[in-house]
Amino acid sequence: MEVNLMSLNDWSEDLQVNGVPYINTYPPGPYSLDKIKEAKKYVTSYWTGKKKDSEDGWDLPLTVKKVANSLIEDVDGNVYIDLNAGISTANFGYNNPEIWIRAQEIMNEYGVLGIFPSNDYNLPLMIDASKKLLSTVPNGPEYRVHYACDGTEANEAAIKTAVSFTGRGCVVSFMGSFFGRTMGSLSCMAQKSRDADTFRSLRSSNVYFAEGANCPNCIFCDHPEDCNGYCIEKFLKDRVLTHQVSPEEVAAFIMEPYTTGGLMNPAPEEFLKSAREICDDYGIVLIFDEIQSGMGRSGKMWVHEHHGVQPDIFTSAKSLGGGVSPLSAAFIRDEIMEEVPAYHGSTYGGAPISLAGNMAALEYMDKHRLLDRVRDLGNVIGKRASEWEDYLNVWQTRGWGLLRAVDFRENKNNPMVEYKSQIQGELFKEGIVTMSAGQGRYLSMLRLIPSFTIPNEHLEIGLDIFEKVISK
Ligand SMILES: Cc1ncc(COP(=O)(O)O)c(C=O)c1O
């Protein structure tokens, strides 16, 4: 089978003539508008459902014709620089030819192509892929890998495993995180009250919420330097675990060690260490969601490496399948798996194409020293972004590696949500794709999460345009 791969080379003529970004027709142009109308008739999407009243439905009215690395061409012939990397699903760039070709070689080597119900048979490819993946994890030999397709499924596996292992029925979650849209994950989320309101009858009532490491929105102190640790000491220990649920009833703590869509904030080390201590004291399973933040985005392969705190289970997804095929994983401590009476499964989880994509991506990361590149490009963004804090409406810029955001507020308590959307729209019209982020009423951020392979020049152009638009 021959795979035709589109790469930047296929665009070279156009790109040389026009440069990037290239706005031919003010977006959304006529073809895009037609396609948006058609889409509304034939397809559902998370965003169209939520934004019934909006003209276009999606975060951006972007109808994609083709993609390569960090570029997206729309159906009107506009070419955009994507500073969102497909919400982190394209860490290695769209259509990365090296990864695709290598993934196909791997599938051929193992004699299994595409889809196979991998959870139900023993596949040497899965064993080898797991060895390779676990070699990237601190204390890797202490974990086993459960494979699924979506991030939310990996979290479901984590929650079910913890409940099954401990025989306990309650979970403590941390406000502001995002875990996914299936009922277990959704039950653990307190990010937007609308989700809770709509699905209240189906949400578990056995999830209790503590205050997450949402330092920029901290309700206990105004500045991170004044941190008094009340979120853990006074709220989690003295309220949640004394007034609402006994720690002996709690199966798991589930949290994002780096709140991504919610706030783009790495948790302070002390926060995670205290959570680890409580879990150790009471036999609670500590689950970290690194769905978006893992796989190198923060500048280290896994976020918890920064903190030196070892979770009992952690989950990842997004670019785990190398951009070739969907893949998510729950990394579960051996000693837990030995004792789990009832477990979780997934028909397509760990399909050969996804495992091969993962193996190829890990090889690619090593070969091109991509973690160094994430740190270098992250420093470039960080330096530029810190200068933007002088602009009137930029309250803070935050993040590590290529997990960054610009937060538009008048001050801590006054997020500028409309203004952020206006900036996002202007950037789009200038050929820059971004995605918003935030929690509760603080939907005031734009993410800066480009692919690790974005050419330096495209990143510089993207940042120049970003700067021009927000400095107006
Ligand atoms: C931090 C985090 N957890 C979980 C999920 C859910 O992943 P999925 O949409 O693949 O189910 C997401 C998705 O955006 C996420 O960002």
How far does the centroid of ligand 1 lie from the alpha carbon of residue 328, in Å? Answer: 10
Residue 156, ligand 1, Cβ within 6 A: no
Closest C-alpha among 367, 365, 363, 455 to residue 68? 455
The Cα–Cα gap between 423 and 32 comes to 21
CATH number of 98-367: 3.40.640.10
Is the pLDDT reported for residue 322 higher than 50?
yes
Query: Looking at ligand 1, which residue's alpha carbon is closest to its atom 3?
Result: 179
For residue 119, the 8-state DSSP code is G
Cα 198 versus chain centre, distance: 24
How far does the centroid of ligand 1 lie from the alpha carbon of residue 92, in Å? Answer: 18
- Of 192, 292, 403, the residue with max ligand 1 atoms within 8 A of its CB, to mutate for a pocket test, comes to 292
**Residue in the structure block whose two tokens are 């506009």:** 78
In three-state secondary structure terms, 54 is coil
Q: Which residue has the higher pLDDT, 28 or 58?
A: 28
13-82+370-470 has CATH 3.90.1150.10 classification: yes
The Cα–Cα gap between 17 and 15 comes to 5
For residue 199, the 8-state DSSP code is T
Contact between residue 186 and residue 180 where contact means Cβ atoms under 8 Å apart = yes
Residue 152, ligand 1, Cβ within 6 A: yes
**pLDDT at position 461:** 97
Residue 216, ligand 1, Cβ within 6 A: no
Mean pLDDT of 428-444: 93
Is the pLDDT reported for residue 247 higher than 50?
yes
Contact between residue 250 and residue 170 where contact means Cβ atoms under 8 Å apart = yes
- Of 47, 159, 178, 447, the residue with max ligand 1 atoms within 8 A of its CB, to mutate for a pocket test, comes to 178
pTM for this predicted structure: 0.96
Closest C-alpha among 237, 369, 223 to residue 296? 369
Tens digit of pLDDT for each residue in 63-118?
A: 999 999 999 999 999 999 999 999 999 999 999 999 999 999 999 999 999 999 98
**pLDDT at position 3:** 44
> Model confidence at 232, in pLDDT bands (50, 70, 90)?
very high
Residue 317, ligand 1, Cβ within 6 A: yes
Q: Which residue has the higher pLDDT, 339 or 46?
A: 339
Q: Report which ligand 1 atom has the smallest distance to the Cα of 152.
A: 11
Q: Report which ligand 1 atom has the smallest distance to the Cα of 149.
A: 10
Provide long-range contacts, Cβ within 8 A and 24+ apart, for 362-368: 362/132, 362/133, 362/136, 363/102, 364/92, 364/96, 364/98, 364/99, 364/102, 364/322, 365/92, 365/296, 368/453
> Model confidence at 1, in pLDDT bands (50, 70, 90)?
very low
Q: Which of 36-45, 90-99, 223-232, 306-315 is least confident?
A: 36-45
Q: Residue ranges per domain, the chain?
A: 13-82+370-470, 98-367
Query: Which is it for strands 442-448 and 435-439: parallel, antiparallel or unpaired?
Result: antiparallel
DSSP-assigned letters across all residues of 245-305: --GGGEEEEEE-SEETTTT-EEPPHHHHHHHHHHHHHHTPEEEEE-TTTTTTTTSSSSHHH
Tens digit of pLDDT for each residue in 150-178?
A: 999 999 999 999 999 999 999 999 998 99
Tokens read off for 13: 């003529």
Query: Looking at ligand 1, which residue's alpha carbon is closest to its atom 7?
Result: 151
- Percent of the chain clearing pLDDT 70 (strictly above): 94
- Of 152, 155, 303, the residue with max ligand 1 atoms within 8 A of its CB, to mutate for a pocket test, comes to 152
